[in-house]
Chains A and B, each alone.
Chain A
Amino acid sequence: DADVTQTPRNRITKTGKRIMLECSQTKGHDRMYWYRQDPGLGLRLIYYSFDVKDINKGEISDGYSVSRQAQAKFSLSLESAIPNQTALYFCATSVPGQGTQETQYFGPGTRLLVL
């Protein structure tokens, strides 16, 4: 089984709808992240959480909210979806490095289309 899973893998929704993307991990990592990927723009950080009680905005948090339900679960919500939120969304996890870099482990992604 994959260490980082995302559901759904594909989603089509309409403008104005509320949707939730879910991420679960079995790696036991405290740190979790949500990114979106757009062609030509790379990966951009939406929100990140360094533990269950810690939630931080990333580079592009407007229009998004998150919930860290447990160490293993981190959900991303679009309260009122708009077409420019059409993108590929990735969840990632990591554990702090000790005197070394911190590897992030990515899920398989959720492809979201907002009509």
Chain B
Amino acid sequence: QKEVEQDPGPLSVPEGAIVSLNCTYSNSAFQYFMWYRQYSRKGPELLMYTYSSGNKEDGRFTAQVDKSSKYISLFIRDSQPSDSATYLCAMSVAAGGTSYGKLTFGQGTILTVHP
């Protein structure tokens, strides 16, 4: 069983829809949780990160972490065609309150938002 599981989709939604992307994990040592976005033929770029359980908002994006259930989510409100990309969850352990650097990625979810 992989340490991080992510539904690869693909996911296709109409413009304006609310999108929910999810990952589950099995390693209780994970403390930092990130979402990377990868456009076609590009490298991944950090979209959001969270450290503790709860929600974090950034514009149309909300990252949610539930450590008790080992479950993280990314919500996209009012989705736009420009949001079409692959979304990868990533996690790392902490050492002395600092991220340890090594990331474990989910499989990635391919999202298409059509006009």
Query: What is the CA–CA distance of A31 and B104 in the complex, to the nearest angstrom?
Result: 16
Q: Are B51 and A90 in contact (CB under 8 A)?
A: no
Contact A102 B8, CB 8 Å, known A42-B105, A90-B43, A107-B43: no
Total A-B pairs, Cβ < 8 A: 69
Contacts of A35 in B (CB 8 A): 105
Contacts of B88 in A (CB 8 A): 42-43
Interface 0/1 of A72-102, CB less than 8 Å to B? 0000000000000000001010101111111
Query: What is the CA–CA distance of A107 and B6 in the complex, to the nearest angstrom?
Result: 23
- Chain A residues within 8 Å of chain B by Cβ, number: 28
Which B27-60 residues have a C-beta within 8 angstroms of A?
32, 34, 41-46, 49, 51
Which A26-67 residues have a C-beta within 8 angstroms of B?
31, 35, 40-45, 48, 50, 58
Query: What is the CA–CA distance of A104 and B91 in the complex, to the nearest angstrom?
Result: 12
Q: Are A40 and B102 in contact (CB under 8 A)?
A: no
Chain A to chain B contacts (Cβ below 8 Å), 14 pairs: A35-B105, A42-B105, A42-B106, A45-B104, A90-B43, A97-B99, A99-B97, A99-B98, A100-B98, A101-B32, A101-B92, A106-B44, A106-B45, A108-B42
